[in-house]
Amino acid sequence: MSDFQDRDPVHQVVFRWDGNHGRQGTGMNAVAHSCSPERAAELGRELGPLLWMSGAAARPSVVRTVSSDEHVMLVQRWPTTDPGGRPSTVSHVLVGPPGTLKTRQCLGLAHGGWSTREQAERASGHKSVIDAAELDELARAQLPHMLERLPEVRHALTQITAELLRDPTQRVSLLLEERTPIAWPDRAAVPLVYLGLFLLFGSWLGHEWTFATYDTADIHPLLLTAVPRWEADTGGSGPLARVMGRRPEEPHFGHQAAAHLVKYLLAHPDAPAGVPHLLVDLPDGRSLDWPRRS
* pLDDT tens readout for residues 25-37: 557 899 999 999 9
Average pLDDT along the chain: 90
| pTM of this prediction exceeds 0.75 | yes
Asked whether the predicted pLDDT for residue 2 surpasses 60, the reply is no
Residues 165 and 189 grouped into a single domain: yes
Q: Please choose, from the candidates 153, 259, 171, 161, the residue with its C-alpha nearest in 3D space to the C-alpha of residue 208.
A: 171
Residues 85 and 175 grouped into a single domain: no
Q: Please choose, from the candidates 165, 195, 187, 173, the residue with its C-alpha nearest in 3D space to the C-alpha of residue 103.
A: 195
Q: What is the pLDDT of residue 293?
A: 55
Residues 86 and 182 grouped into a single domain: no
Q: What is the pLDDT of residue 133?
A: 92
Residues 111 and 32 grouped into a single domain: yes
Asked whether the predicted pLDDT for residue 77 surpasses 90, the reply is yes
Q: Give per-residue pLDDT as tens, 164-192.
A: 999 999 999 999 987 878 889 999 999 99
Expressed as residue numbers, the domain containing 82 is 11-118+131-143
Residues 195 and 210 grouped into a single domain: yes
Average pLDDT, stretch 213-231?
A: 94
Position 22 confidence tier, pLDDT thresholds 50, 70, 90: very low
Has residue 123 been placed in a domain? no
SS3 content of the chain, % helix, strand, coil (to 5): 35, 20, 45
The secondary structure element, H or E, covering residue 171 is strand 171-175
Residue 268 has a CB neighbour count (10 Å cut-off) of 12
Has residue 2 been placed in a domain? no
Q: Please choose, from the candidates 250, 253, 201, the residue with its C-alpha nearest in 3D space to the C-alpha of residue 223.
A: 201
Q: CA–CA separation, 249 vs 251, rounded Å?
A: 6
Q: Give per-residue pLDDT as tens, 82-93.
A: 888 899 999 999
Q: What is the pLDDT of residue 194?
A: 99
Cβ-based neighbours of 201, under 8 Å, separated by 6 or more: 161, 164, 273, 274, 275, 278
Q: What is the pLDDT of residue 6?
A: 52
Residues 153 and 289 grouped into a single domain: yes
Position 5 confidence tier, pLDDT thresholds 50, 70, 90: very low
Beta-bridge partners for 18: 20
Which parts of 51-188 fold into alpha helices (H)? 103-112, 117-122, 132-148, 154-166
- If one compares 288 and 257, the residue with the highest pLDDT of the two is 257
Q: CA–CA separation, 147 vs 193, rounded Å?
A: 10
Q: Give per-residue pLDDT as tens, 133-168.
A: 999 999 999 999 999 999 999 999 999 999 999 999
Query: Which amino acid appears at position 257 of this protein?
Result: A
Q: Are 76 and 123 a contacting pair, CB within 8 Å?
A: no
Number of domains in the chain: 2
